[in-house]
Chains A and B, each alone.
Chain A
Protein backbone atom coordinates (compact mmCIF):
# COMPACT_ATOMS: atom_id res chain seq x y z
CA UNK A 1 0.00 0.00 0.00
CA UNK A 2 2.78 2.41 0.97
CA UNK A 3 6.15 2.17 -0.77
CA UNK A 4 8.99 4.29 0.53
CA UNK A 5 12.12 4.18 -1.62
CA UNK A 6 15.56 5.60 -0.88
CA UNK A 7 14.16 8.48 1.16
CA UNK A 8 16.56 11.19 2.32
CA UNK A 9 15.42 13.99 4.64
CA UNK A 10 17.80 16.50 6.15
CA UNK A 11 17.75 19.26 8.74
CA UNK A 12 20.16 21.72 7.19
CA UNK A 13 23.29 19.75 6.46
CA UNK A 14 22.50 16.86 8.76
CA UNK A 15 20.74 13.97 7.07
CA UNK A 16 18.30 12.40 9.52
CA UNK A 17 17.10 9.86 6.93
CA UNK A 18 19.95 8.43 4.86
CA UNK A 19 18.10 6.50 2.18
CA UNK A 20 15.18 4.74 3.84
CA UNK A 21 13.22 2.10 1.96
CA UNK A 22 10.29 0.20 3.43
CA UNK A 23 6.86 -1.12 2.55
CA UNK A 24 3.59 -1.08 4.44
CA UNK A 25 1.14 -3.79 3.38
CA UNK A 26 -2.53 -2.97 3.05
CA UNK A 27 -4.75 -4.22 5.86
CA UNK A 28 -1.82 -4.99 8.14
CA UNK A 29 -0.13 -3.42 11.15
CA UNK A 30 3.47 -2.54 10.35
CA UNK A 31 5.71 -1.38 13.14
CA UNK A 32 8.87 0.69 13.10
CA UNK A 33 11.18 0.30 16.09
CA UNK A 34 14.40 2.08 16.87
CA UNK A 35 16.32 4.05 19.47
CA UNK A 36 15.83 7.73 20.19
CA UNK A 37 17.16 9.91 17.42
CA UNK A 38 17.04 7.14 14.81
CA UNK A 39 14.85 9.27 12.55
CA UNK A 40 11.44 7.68 13.14
CA UNK A 41 9.60 10.96 13.70
CA UNK A 42 11.42 12.50 10.76
CA UNK A 43 10.14 9.66 8.57
CA UNK A 44 6.56 10.11 9.78
CA UNK A 45 6.68 13.88 9.25
CA UNK A 46 8.13 13.37 5.77
CA UNK A 47 5.39 10.91 4.77
CA UNK A 48 2.78 13.37 6.10
CA UNK A 49 4.31 16.18 4.02
CA UNK A 50 5.29 18.44 6.93
CA UNK A 51 8.96 17.86 6.04
CA UNK A 52 10.11 17.79 2.42
CA UNK A 53 12.50 15.00 1.41
CA UNK A 54 15.77 15.72 -0.40
CA UNK A 55 15.50 12.56 -2.46
CA UNK A 56 13.47 9.42 -2.84
CA UNK A 57 9.84 8.58 -3.34
CA UNK A 58 6.79 7.87 -1.22
CA UNK A 59 4.08 6.05 -3.13
CA UNK A 60 0.58 5.34 -1.88
CA UNK A 61 -0.92 2.63 -4.09
CA UNK A 62 1.41 3.81 -6.82
CA UNK A 63 0.59 7.54 -6.52
CA UNK A 64 3.53 9.77 -5.56
CA UNK A 65 3.11 11.67 -2.28
CA UNK A 66 6.57 13.26 -2.04
CA UNK A 67 6.31 16.97 -2.84
CA UNK A 68 2.59 17.23 -2.09
CA UNK A 69 1.35 19.62 0.62
CA UNK A 70 0.21 18.08 3.93
CA UNK A 71 -3.37 19.03 3.02
CA UNK A 72 -3.19 17.10 -0.27
CA UNK A 73 -1.70 14.09 1.50
CA UNK A 74 -4.57 14.09 4.00
CA UNK A 75 -7.06 14.15 1.15
CA UNK A 76 -5.22 11.19 -0.42
CA UNK A 77 -6.16 9.20 2.69
CA UNK A 78 -3.11 9.38 4.93
CA UNK A 79 -3.42 10.70 8.49
CA UNK A 80 -0.74 11.01 11.17
CA UNK A 81 -1.26 10.80 14.92
CA UNK A 82 1.82 12.84 15.82
CA UNK A 83 4.36 12.27 18.56
CA UNK A 84 3.25 14.07 21.75
CA UNK A 85 -0.35 14.08 20.44
CA UNK A 86 -0.41 17.79 19.52
CA UNK A 87 -4.10 18.35 20.23
CA UNK A 88 -5.40 21.91 19.82
CA UNK A 89 -5.30 22.87 23.51
CA UNK A 90 -7.67 25.86 23.51
CA UNK A 91 -10.30 24.17 21.39
CA UNK A 92 -12.99 21.84 22.73
CA UNK A 93 -12.87 18.11 22.13
CA UNK A 94 -15.71 18.56 19.65
CA UNK A 95 -13.86 21.28 17.75
CA UNK A 96 -10.71 19.16 17.63
CA UNK A 97 -12.72 16.41 15.94
CA UNK A 98 -14.26 18.96 13.57
CA UNK A 99 -10.78 20.20 12.67
CA UNK A 100 -9.77 16.61 11.95
CA UNK A 101 -12.41 16.59 9.21
CA UNK A 102 -11.17 19.88 7.74
CA UNK A 103 -10.67 18.41 4.26
CA UNK A 104 -14.16 16.92 4.16
CA UNK A 105 -17.26 18.73 2.94
CA UNK A 106 -19.98 16.18 3.68
CA UNK A 107 -21.47 17.78 6.74
CA UNK A 108 -23.86 14.95 7.55
CA UNK A 109 -21.10 12.37 7.20
CA UNK A 110 -18.82 14.38 9.47
CA UNK A 111 -21.51 14.62 12.15
CA UNK A 112 -22.17 10.89 11.91
CA UNK A 113 -18.45 10.19 12.26
CA UNK A 114 -18.20 12.43 15.33
CA UNK A 115 -21.00 10.35 16.87
CA UNK A 116 -19.07 7.18 15.95
CA UNK A 117 -15.96 8.55 17.67
CA UNK A 118 -18.02 9.36 20.76
CA UNK A 119 -19.33 5.79 20.76
CA UNK A 120 -15.85 4.33 20.42
CA UNK A 121 -14.23 6.73 22.90
CA UNK A 122 -16.84 7.38 25.62
CA UNK A 123 -14.43 9.59 27.61
CA UNK A 124 -14.36 11.98 24.67
CA UNK A 125 -18.16 12.06 24.60
CA UNK A 126 -18.31 12.97 28.30
CA UNK A 127 -15.80 15.76 27.75
CA UNK A 128 -16.96 16.95 24.35
CA UNK A 129 -17.23 20.59 25.46
CA UNK A 130 -14.06 20.58 27.55
CA UNK A 131 -10.88 22.26 26.27
CA UNK A 132 -8.54 19.60 24.92
CA UNK A 133 -5.61 21.04 26.88
CA UNK A 134 -7.33 20.06 30.15
CA UNK A 135 -7.64 16.36 29.27
CA UNK A 136 -5.37 13.72 30.81
CA UNK A 137 -2.51 12.33 28.71
CA UNK A 138 -4.45 9.17 27.87
CA UNK A 139 -7.55 11.13 26.87
CA UNK A 140 -5.45 13.46 24.71
CA UNK A 141 -4.03 10.40 22.96
CA UNK A 142 -7.54 9.08 22.30
CA UNK A 143 -8.47 12.50 20.96
CA UNK A 144 -5.41 12.59 18.70
CA UNK A 145 -6.36 9.18 17.30
CA UNK A 146 -10.01 10.15 16.86
CA UNK A 147 -9.03 13.43 15.22
CA UNK A 148 -6.87 11.57 12.71
CA UNK A 149 -9.68 9.08 12.01
CA UNK A 150 -12.05 11.96 11.22
CA UNK A 151 -10.31 12.38 7.86
CA UNK A 152 -11.32 8.78 6.97
CA UNK A 153 -7.75 7.64 6.33
CA UNK A 154 -6.87 4.51 4.34
CA UNK A 155 -3.48 4.57 6.06
CA UNK A 156 -3.11 5.63 9.68
CA UNK A 157 0.37 6.67 10.81
CA UNK A 158 1.01 6.69 14.56
CA UNK A 159 4.14 8.09 16.18
CA UNK A 160 4.76 6.67 19.65
CA UNK A 161 1.16 6.66 20.88
CA UNK A 162 2.21 5.07 24.19
CA UNK A 163 4.73 7.79 25.06
CA UNK A 164 4.44 8.89 28.67
CA UNK A 165 1.26 6.93 29.43
CA UNK A 166 0.54 4.62 32.35
CA UNK A 167 0.68 0.85 31.56
CA UNK A 168 -3.08 0.41 31.80
CA UNK A 169 -3.67 3.21 29.29
CA UNK A 170 -0.95 1.82 27.01
CA UNK A 171 -2.77 -1.51 26.94
CA UNK A 172 -5.99 0.31 26.04
CA UNK A 173 -4.27 2.19 23.21
CA UNK A 174 -2.92 -1.07 21.79
CA UNK A 175 -6.40 -2.62 22.01
CA UNK A 176 -7.70 0.29 19.97
CA UNK A 177 -4.92 -0.15 17.41
CA UNK A 178 -5.78 -3.83 16.96
CA UNK A 179 -9.49 -2.98 16.76
CA UNK A 180 -9.00 -0.28 14.14
CA UNK A 181 -6.95 -2.70 12.09
CA UNK A 182 -9.62 -5.36 12.38
CA UNK A 183 -12.08 -2.82 10.99
CA UNK A 184 -9.90 -2.48 7.90
CA UNK A 185 -7.51 0.43 8.54
CA UNK A 186 -3.90 -0.09 7.51
CA UNK A 187 -1.60 1.01 10.33
CA UNK A 188 2.01 2.09 10.34
CA UNK A 189 3.14 2.43 13.92
CA UNK A 190 6.30 3.88 15.44
CA UNK A 191 7.03 2.55 18.90
CA UNK A 192 9.62 2.52 21.65
CA UNK A 193 7.59 -0.05 23.54
CA UNK A 194 8.93 -3.05 21.59
CA UNK A 195 7.18 -5.61 23.77
CA UNK A 196 3.69 -4.23 23.11
CA UNK A 197 4.45 -3.43 19.49
CA UNK A 198 5.62 -6.95 18.67
CA UNK A 199 2.35 -8.32 20.04
CA UNK A 200 0.16 -6.43 17.57
CA UNK A 201 2.47 -6.06 14.56
CA UNK A 202 2.26 -8.30 11.51
CA UNK A 203 5.55 -7.01 10.28
CA UNK A 204 8.26 -4.78 11.66
CA UNK A 205 11.30 -2.75 10.70
CA UNK A 206 14.23 -1.65 12.79
CA UNK A 207 15.69 1.78 12.18
CA UNK A 208 19.07 2.89 13.44
CA UNK A 209 20.80 6.18 12.67
CA UNK A 210 18.64 7.04 9.70
CA UNK A 211 18.76 3.60 8.04
CA UNK A 212 16.59 0.51 8.05
CA UNK A 213 18.68 -2.28 9.58
CA UNK A 214 16.18 -5.09 9.86
CA UNK A 215 12.94 -6.17 8.26
CA UNK A 216 10.93 -9.17 9.34
CA UNK A 217 8.00 -10.65 11.21
CA UNK A 218 7.78 -10.62 15.02
CA UNK A 219 8.81 -14.29 15.37
CA UNK A 220 11.93 -13.84 13.30
CA UNK A 221 14.17 -12.12 15.81
CA UNK A 222 14.38 -12.93 19.53
CA UNK A 223 12.45 -10.31 21.46
CA UNK A 224 15.36 -9.37 23.67
CA UNK A 225 17.54 -8.70 20.65
CA UNK A 226 14.82 -6.50 19.16
CA UNK A 227 14.48 -4.71 22.46
CA UNK A 228 18.20 -4.20 22.78
CA UNK A 229 18.52 -2.81 19.28
CA UNK A 230 15.33 -0.76 19.56
CA UNK A 231 16.49 0.90 22.73
CA UNK A 232 20.24 1.06 22.33
CA UNK A 233 21.09 0.55 18.68
CA UNK A 234 23.45 -2.16 17.39
CA UNK A 235 26.66 -0.22 17.56
CA UNK A 236 26.52 0.70 21.18
CA UNK A 237 24.99 -2.66 22.13
CA UNK A 238 27.88 -4.46 20.47
CA UNK A 239 30.49 -2.32 22.28
Chain B
Protein backbone atom coordinates (compact mmCIF):
# COMPACT_ATOMS: atom_id res chain seq x y z
CA UNK B 1 0.00 0.00 0.00
CA UNK B 2 2.80 2.38 0.90
CA UNK B 3 4.54 1.43 -2.33
CA UNK B 4 1.38 2.05 -4.27
CA UNK B 5 1.03 5.55 -2.87
CA UNK B 6 4.74 6.34 -3.17
CA UNK B 7 4.71 5.19 -6.80
CA UNK B 8 1.68 7.31 -7.49
CA UNK B 9 3.39 10.33 -5.93
CA UNK B 10 6.53 9.72 -8.00
CA UNK B 11 4.38 9.25 -11.08
CA UNK B 12 2.56 12.53 -10.52
CA UNK B 13 5.88 14.33 -10.09
CA UNK B 14 7.49 12.88 -13.22
CA UNK B 15 4.16 13.24 -15.00
CA UNK B 16 4.15 16.97 -14.34
CA UNK B 17 7.26 17.26 -16.55
CA UNK B 18 5.45 15.33 -19.29
CA UNK B 19 2.54 17.67 -18.78
CA UNK B 20 4.80 20.70 -19.20
CA UNK B 21 6.20 19.23 -22.40
CA UNK B 22 2.69 18.57 -23.65
CA UNK B 23 1.67 22.13 -22.76
CA UNK B 24 4.06 23.64 -25.29
CA UNK B 25 3.21 20.99 -27.83
CA UNK B 26 -0.51 21.51 -27.53
CA UNK B 27 -0.16 25.29 -27.80
CA UNK B 28 1.61 24.90 -31.15
CA UNK B 29 -0.89 22.32 -32.30
CA UNK B 30 -3.87 24.41 -31.19
CA UNK B 31 -2.70 27.51 -33.04
CA UNK B 32 -1.31 25.89 -36.18
CA UNK B 33 -3.07 22.50 -36.44
CA UNK B 34 0.36 21.23 -37.29
CA UNK B 35 2.58 18.70 -35.60
CA UNK B 36 5.98 20.22 -34.85
CA UNK B 37 8.27 17.19 -34.62
CA UNK B 38 11.21 19.54 -34.01
CA UNK B 39 9.69 20.61 -30.70
CA UNK B 40 11.88 18.31 -28.58
CA UNK B 41 15.09 18.99 -30.53
CA UNK B 42 14.54 22.77 -30.07
CA UNK B 43 14.47 22.12 -26.33
CA UNK B 44 17.57 19.92 -26.62
CA UNK B 45 19.41 22.83 -28.31
CA UNK B 46 18.47 24.96 -25.31
CA UNK B 47 19.88 22.22 -23.08
CA UNK B 48 23.16 22.22 -24.99
CA UNK B 49 23.50 25.97 -24.63
CA UNK B 50 22.82 25.44 -20.92
CA UNK B 51 25.48 22.77 -20.46
CA UNK B 52 28.11 24.92 -22.22
CA UNK B 53 27.34 27.73 -19.83
CA UNK B 54 27.57 25.34 -16.87
CA UNK B 55 30.74 23.48 -17.90
CA UNK B 56 32.68 26.39 -19.43
CA UNK B 57 31.67 29.23 -17.17
CA UNK B 58 30.39 27.48 -14.06
CA UNK B 59 27.02 29.20 -14.26
CA UNK B 60 24.48 28.47 -11.53
CA UNK B 61 21.18 26.68 -12.12
CA UNK B 62 19.12 29.85 -12.50
CA UNK B 63 21.41 31.34 -15.16
CA UNK B 64 21.42 27.98 -16.93
CA UNK B 65 17.62 27.85 -16.76
CA UNK B 66 17.26 31.34 -18.23
CA UNK B 67 19.67 30.65 -21.07
CA UNK B 68 18.12 27.30 -21.83
CA UNK B 69 14.62 28.77 -22.02
CA UNK B 70 15.86 31.56 -24.27
CA UNK B 71 17.81 29.09 -26.42
CA UNK B 72 14.76 26.86 -26.84
CA UNK B 73 12.60 29.86 -27.78
CA UNK B 74 15.09 31.01 -30.42
CA UNK B 75 15.40 27.48 -31.81
CA UNK B 76 11.60 27.38 -31.87
CA UNK B 77 11.42 30.59 -33.92
CA UNK B 78 14.02 29.12 -36.29
CA UNK B 79 11.85 26.03 -36.81
CA UNK B 80 8.72 28.14 -37.28
CA UNK B 81 10.28 30.44 -39.88
CA UNK B 82 11.75 27.49 -41.78
CA UNK B 83 9.02 24.85 -41.65
CA UNK B 84 5.76 26.54 -40.80
CA UNK B 85 5.68 30.16 -41.95
CA UNK B 86 6.18 29.36 -45.65
CA UNK B 87 3.37 26.78 -45.66
CA UNK B 88 0.88 28.42 -43.36
CA UNK B 89 -2.37 27.99 -45.24
CA UNK B 90 -2.01 24.43 -46.45
CA UNK B 91 0.35 21.50 -46.72
CA UNK B 92 0.09 20.13 -43.17
CA UNK B 93 2.04 17.06 -44.17
CA UNK B 94 4.78 19.12 -45.84
CA UNK B 95 5.42 21.19 -42.73
CA UNK B 96 5.41 18.07 -40.54
CA UNK B 97 7.95 16.36 -42.80
CA UNK B 98 10.14 19.45 -42.94
CA UNK B 99 10.00 19.71 -39.15
CA UNK B 100 11.30 16.14 -39.10
CA UNK B 101 14.17 17.19 -41.37
CA UNK B 102 15.01 20.07 -39.01
CA UNK B 103 14.94 17.60 -36.11
CA UNK B 104 17.74 15.65 -37.81
CA UNK B 105 19.58 18.88 -38.59
CA UNK B 106 19.43 20.12 -34.99
CA UNK B 107 20.51 16.73 -33.63
CA UNK B 108 23.48 16.53 -36.00
CA UNK B 109 24.46 20.12 -35.21
CA UNK B 110 24.46 19.31 -31.49
CA UNK B 111 26.60 16.20 -32.05
CA UNK B 112 29.04 18.12 -34.24
CA UNK B 113 29.57 20.91 -31.74
CA UNK B 114 29.66 18.71 -28.61
CA UNK B 115 30.63 15.21 -29.78
CA UNK B 116 30.63 13.38 -26.43
CA UNK B 117 27.48 11.40 -25.71
CA UNK B 118 26.68 12.99 -22.35
CA UNK B 119 27.37 16.36 -20.81
CA UNK B 120 26.75 17.31 -17.20
CA UNK B 121 23.85 19.47 -16.16
CA UNK B 122 23.50 21.37 -12.87
CA UNK B 123 21.04 20.04 -10.27
CA UNK B 124 18.37 22.46 -9.16
CA UNK B 125 18.55 21.55 -5.46
CA UNK B 126 20.73 19.14 -3.57
CA UNK B 127 18.65 19.18 -0.40
CA UNK B 128 17.40 15.95 1.20
CA UNK B 129 13.88 14.85 0.22
CA UNK B 130 11.03 15.97 2.43
CA UNK B 131 9.47 13.28 4.57
CA UNK B 132 5.72 13.22 4.76
CA UNK B 133 4.67 10.31 6.97
CA UNK B 134 6.18 7.23 5.39
CA UNK B 135 6.48 8.98 2.01
CA UNK B 136 9.37 10.82 0.40
CA UNK B 137 8.96 13.97 -1.66
CA UNK B 138 11.88 15.26 -3.70
CA UNK B 139 12.21 19.02 -3.67
CA UNK B 140 13.01 19.29 -7.39
CA UNK B 141 9.95 17.15 -8.12
CA UNK B 142 7.78 19.52 -6.12
CA UNK B 143 9.19 22.46 -8.07
CA UNK B 144 8.31 20.58 -11.26
CA UNK B 145 4.72 20.12 -10.15
CA UNK B 146 4.50 23.76 -9.07
CA UNK B 147 5.81 24.95 -12.45
CA UNK B 148 3.36 22.73 -14.30
CA UNK B 149 0.36 24.05 -12.40
CA UNK B 150 1.60 27.64 -12.39
CA UNK B 151 2.30 27.70 -16.13
CA UNK B 152 -1.07 26.12 -16.91
CA UNK B 153 -2.77 28.89 -14.97
CA UNK B 154 -0.57 31.52 -16.65
CA UNK B 155 -1.39 30.22 -20.13
CA UNK B 156 -5.10 30.07 -19.38
CA UNK B 157 -4.90 33.66 -18.14
CA UNK B 158 -2.96 34.80 -21.20
CA UNK B 159 -5.36 33.08 -23.59
CA UNK B 160 -8.59 34.27 -22.01
CA UNK B 161 -7.72 37.61 -20.42
CA UNK B 162 -5.24 39.37 -22.70
CA UNK B 163 -5.30 41.01 -26.11
CA UNK B 164 -2.64 38.63 -27.41
CA UNK B 165 -4.72 35.68 -26.18
CA UNK B 166 -7.77 37.05 -28.00
CA UNK B 167 -5.69 37.24 -31.18
CA UNK B 168 -4.47 33.66 -30.78
CA UNK B 169 -7.97 32.32 -30.16
CA UNK B 170 -9.20 34.25 -33.20
CA UNK B 171 -6.49 32.65 -35.32
CA UNK B 172 -7.43 29.23 -33.94
CA UNK B 173 -11.09 29.91 -34.73
CA UNK B 174 -10.62 31.21 -38.25
CA UNK B 175 -7.30 32.42 -39.64
CA UNK B 176 -8.83 34.24 -42.62
CA UNK B 177 -11.22 36.16 -40.37
CA UNK B 178 -8.29 36.90 -38.03
CA UNK B 179 -6.56 38.64 -40.94
CA UNK B 180 -9.77 40.51 -41.74
CA UNK B 181 -10.14 42.04 -38.27
CA UNK B 182 -6.58 43.31 -38.49
CA UNK B 183 -4.59 40.76 -36.51
CA UNK B 184 -1.03 40.37 -37.72
CA UNK B 185 -1.32 36.59 -37.98
CA UNK B 186 2.27 35.90 -38.97
CA UNK B 187 3.74 37.75 -35.97
CA UNK B 188 1.20 36.30 -33.53
CA UNK B 189 1.92 32.75 -34.69
CA UNK B 190 5.66 33.28 -34.41
CA UNK B 191 5.30 34.64 -30.87
CA UNK B 192 3.07 31.72 -29.90
CA UNK B 193 5.67 29.35 -31.28
CA UNK B 194 8.41 31.06 -29.28
CA UNK B 195 6.31 30.98 -26.11
CA UNK B 196 5.50 27.29 -26.58
CA UNK B 197 9.15 26.43 -27.12
CA UNK B 198 10.07 28.49 -24.05
CA UNK B 199 7.58 26.45 -22.00
CA UNK B 200 9.26 23.35 -23.43
CA UNK B 201 12.52 24.92 -22.27
CA UNK B 202 11.22 25.14 -18.70
CA UNK B 203 10.15 21.49 -18.85
CA UNK B 204 13.46 20.48 -20.38
CA UNK B 205 15.48 22.33 -17.78
CA UNK B 206 13.58 20.69 -14.92
CA UNK B 207 14.00 17.21 -16.38
CA UNK B 208 17.69 17.66 -17.20
CA UNK B 209 18.46 19.06 -13.77
CA UNK B 210 16.92 15.96 -12.19
CA UNK B 211 18.91 13.71 -14.57
CA UNK B 212 22.00 15.96 -14.15
CA UNK B 213 23.04 15.20 -17.71
CA UNK B 214 22.05 15.95 -21.29
CA UNK B 215 22.44 13.77 -24.40
CA UNK B 216 21.50 14.33 -28.06
CA UNK B 217 18.70 11.78 -27.52
CA UNK B 218 16.91 14.24 -25.26
CA UNK B 219 15.22 15.84 -28.26
CA UNK B 220 13.53 12.65 -29.33
CA UNK B 221 12.60 11.82 -25.76
CA UNK B 222 10.95 15.21 -25.27
CA UNK B 223 9.03 15.03 -28.55
CA UNK B 224 7.75 11.53 -27.76
CA UNK B 225 6.71 12.17 -24.16
CA UNK B 226 5.12 15.49 -25.05
CA UNK B 227 3.30 14.01 -28.01
CA UNK B 228 1.93 11.02 -26.09
CA UNK B 229 0.86 13.15 -23.11
CA UNK B 230 -0.80 15.64 -25.47
CA UNK B 231 -2.71 12.93 -27.29
CA UNK B 232 -3.87 11.28 -24.07
CA UNK B 233 -4.99 14.65 -22.71
CA UNK B 234 -6.73 15.77 -25.88
CA UNK B 235 -5.17 17.60 -28.82
CA UNK B 236 -5.17 21.34 -28.33
CA UNK B 237 -6.52 21.26 -24.75
CA UNK B 238 -4.42 23.15 -22.17
CA UNK B 239 -5.72 21.44 -18.99
CA UNK B 240 -5.78 18.19 -20.96
CA UNK B 241 -2.05 18.46 -21.55
CA UNK B 242 -1.32 18.53 -17.81
CA UNK B 243 -3.83 15.77 -17.03
CA UNK B 244 -2.46 13.62 -19.85
CA UNK B 245 1.05 14.14 -18.55
CA UNK B 246 0.11 13.23 -14.99
CA UNK B 247 -1.77 10.11 -16.10
CA UNK B 248 1.15 9.02 -18.26
CA UNK B 249 3.57 9.56 -15.38
CA UNK B 250 1.49 7.55 -12.94
CA UNK B 251 0.97 4.65 -15.33
CA UNK B 252 4.67 4.56 -16.13
CA UNK B 253 5.66 4.62 -12.47
CA UNK B 254 3.41 1.69 -11.62
CA UNK B 255 4.47 -0.31 -14.65
CA UNK B 256 8.11 0.20 -13.79
CA UNK B 257 7.49 -0.97 -10.23
CA UNK B 258 5.51 -4.06 -11.13
CA UNK B 259 6.99 -5.10 -14.48
CA UNK B 260 10.45 -3.51 -14.63
CA UNK B 261 11.97 -0.59 -16.49
CA UNK B 262 11.78 -2.23 -19.94
CA UNK B 263 8.01 -2.24 -19.72
CA UNK B 264 7.93 1.43 -18.70
CA UNK B 265 8.23 2.91 -22.19
CA UNK B 266 6.07 0.19 -23.68
CA UNK B 267 3.35 1.15 -21.20
CA UNK B 268 3.28 4.69 -22.60
CA UNK B 269 2.56 3.36 -26.07
CA UNK B 270 -0.06 0.94 -24.78
CA UNK B 271 -1.90 3.75 -22.97
CA UNK B 272 -1.75 5.87 -26.13
CA UNK B 273 -3.00 2.93 -28.19
CA UNK B 274 -5.91 2.27 -25.85
CA UNK B 275 -6.92 5.94 -25.91
CA UNK B 276 -6.73 6.16 -29.68
CA UNK B 277 -8.87 3.04 -29.88
CA UNK B 278 -11.63 3.77 -27.35
CA UNK B 279 -11.51 7.57 -26.91
CA UNK B 280 -9.55 9.18 -29.74
CA UNK B 281 -10.36 12.72 -28.58
CA UNK B 282 -8.30 12.16 -25.43
CA UNK B 283 -9.29 13.02 -21.85
CA UNK B 284 -10.44 16.59 -22.49
CA UNK B 285 -10.56 16.78 -26.27
CA UNK B 286 -13.99 17.55 -27.60
CA UNK B 287 -15.66 15.06 -29.93
CA UNK B 288 -13.84 14.97 -33.24
CA UNK B 289 -15.34 17.59 -35.52
CA UNK B 290 -16.34 20.12 -32.87
CA UNK B 291 -12.87 20.30 -31.39
CA UNK B 292 -10.62 23.31 -31.84
CA UNK B 293 -8.34 20.63 -33.25
CA UNK B 294 -10.81 19.98 -36.06
CA UNK B 295 -9.62 20.71 -39.58
CA UNK B 296 -9.80 24.41 -40.27
CA UNK B 297 -12.23 25.65 -42.88
CA UNK B 298 -10.92 28.91 -44.30
Partner of B180, one of A75, A79, A89, A90: A79
* Band of interface residues on B: 10 to 19
- Does A74 reach chain B (CB closer than 8 Å)? yes
Residues in A whose Cβ lies below 8 Å from that of B179: 48-50, 70-71
Name which of B1-9, B39-47, B181-189 contacts chain A. Answer: B181-189
Q: How far is the CB of B29 from chain A (nearest CB, A)?
A: 15
Label chain B's interface by main secondary structure: helix
Residues in A whose Cβ lies below 8 Å from that of B184: 69, 71
- Which residues of A in the span 81-109 have a Cβ within 8 Å of any Cβ on B? 82, 86-91, 95, 98-100, 102-103
A50 x B174 contact (CB < 8 A): no
A86 x B180 contact (CB < 8 A): yes
Residues in B whose Cβ lies below 8 Å from that of A124: none
- Does B166 reach chain A (CB closer than 8 Å)? yes
B167 nearest CB neighbor, chain A only: A102
In angstroms, Cα B180 to Cα A79, docked, is: 7
Partner of B170, one of A50, A80, A99: A99
- Does A147 reach chain B (CB closer than 8 Å)? yes
What does the 1/0 interface line of A51-71 toward B look like (CB < 8 Å)?
000000000000000000111
In angstroms, Cα B172 to Cα A69, docked, is: 19
A74 x B182 contact (CB < 8 A): yes
Q: How far is the CB of A36 from chain B (nearest CB, A)?
A: 18
Partner of A88, one of B163, B170, B182: B170
What does the 1/0 interface line of B166-177 toward A look like (CB < 8 Å)?
110110111011
B174 x A102 contact (CB < 8 A): no
A103 x B173 contact (CB < 8 A): no
In angstroms, Cα B182 to Cα A147, docked, is: 11
Partner of B181, one of A49, A89, A90, A147: A147
B166 x A95 contact (CB < 8 A): yes
- Does B83 reach chain A (CB closer than 8 Å)? no
- Does B224 reach chain A (CB closer than 8 Å)? no
Given contacts A86-B174, A89-B174, A90-B292, contact A70 B180 (CB under 8 A): yes
A74 x B170 contact (CB < 8 A): no
A100 x B181 contact (CB < 8 A): yes
A99 x B176 contact (CB < 8 A): no
Given contacts A90-B292, A95-B166, contact A102 B181 (CB under 8 A): yes
Partner of B169, one of A69, A90, A151: A90
B166 x A99 contact (CB < 8 A): yes
Q: How far is the CB of A224 from chain B (nearest CB, A)?
A: 35
What does the 1/0 interface line of A113-150 toward B look like (CB < 8 Å)?
00000000000000000000000000000000001101
In angstroms, Cα B177 to Cα A151, docked, is: 13
B182 x A70 contact (CB < 8 A): yes
B174 nearest CB neighbor, chain A only: A86
In angstroms, Cα B243 to Cα A206, docked, is: 57
Given contacts A86-B174, A89-B174, A90-B292, contact A48 B169 (CB under 8 A): no
Residues in B whose Cβ lies below 8 Å from that of A148: 180
B171 nearest CB neighbor, chain A only: A88
Partner of B177, one of A88, A90, A95, A150: A88
A90 x B173 contact (CB < 8 A): yes
Partner of A50, one of B166, B167, B172, B176: B176
Residues of A at the B interface (CB closer than 8 Å) are 48-50, 69-71, 74-75, 79-80, 82, 86-91, 95, 98-100, 102-103, 147-148, 150-151
3 smallest A-B Cβ distances: which pairs?
A74-B182, A88-B173, A103-B182
A-B contact pairs, 13 of them (CB 8 A): A48-B179, A69-B184, A71-B179, A82-B176, A82-B180, A88-B169, A90-B169, A99-B181, A102-B166, A102-B167, A102-B170, A102-B181, A103-B181
Q: 18 additional contacts, CB 8 Å, given A86-B180, A88-B178, A90-B292?
A: A48-B180, A49-B179, A74-B182, A75-B182, A80-B180, A82-B180, A86-B176, A87-B177, A88-B169, A89-B174, A90-B173, A99-B167, A99-B170, A99-B181, A102-B163, A102-B166, A102-B182, A148-B180
